[in-house]
Amino acid sequence: MSTCGTCNNQLLDDAAFCENCGSPAARGTAPAALPSPALPLTNSGTPICSQCGKAGMVGEAFCDDCGAPLQTYSPTAQGGAPTSAPVVASSPNRATLRNSMLLIHGSGMQIAFPDKAEVIVGRNDAPSNHFPDIDMTPHNGEAGGVSRRHARISVQQGQIMLEDLDSTNLTRINQQQARPKQPQPLRDGDEVRFGSVVTTFRAS
């Protein structure tokens, strides 16, 4: 008896092919290493997402759309064949919310995000010293039930997340209630309700 060089199945002495995987009965040889699946690459040095294929910005480590690691192109010494290598970031929160915004339903007004990895949405309240990054007071925030510290939007390992901060009148993403203190993904085009104030999140 001998074993298949591909799947290690036991072979009959006169077998020409493996009954398990169909490979030729090459005896006494080790299983061949399977090639790694090809990663999406570009030939211009521009990083590209290994998950959704979107081209990213040079220096970014994660895709702004799906949060997967970005890959880049690097020629080898043998004829310039492409290889992949991860783009290294100095911090997992290198991506920020720059150029993202909230669109207010009804008025059409746009609230731009500060260039930070984390913002607090709520209402200004000087007596209690609450000054959130995004103040919903001018957008019917008080009548609409927006809490002083209503929700946090942050970047965690390349993914934009929303976390309800135990608000009085809840936060909803696409009509689904966000559980307090449990961050969940926030994507471009999602409807977000802070209390009864309805917005649309637009990613950069």
pLDDT (tens digit per residue) in 23-67: 676 554 444 444 444 444 444 556 666 666 666 665 566 666 666
- Give me the long-range contacts of 122-130 (CB less than 8 A, separation at least 24): 122/146, 122/147, 122/148, 122/149, 122/150, 122/151, 122/165, 123/147, 123/148, 123/150
Q: Which two tokens stand for residue 150?
A: 């209503």
For the segment 61-111, what is each residue's pLDDT rounded down to a tens digit? Answer: 666 666 666 665 444 444 444 444 443 333 444 557 888 999 999 999 999
Domains of the chain: 36-90 (no CATH), 101-202 (2.60.200.20)
- pTM here is 0.54
Question: In whole angstroms, what is the distance from residue 169 CA to residue 196 CA?
Answer: 8
d(CA 171, CA 178): 6
Closest alpha carbon to 50 in 37, 69, 65: 69
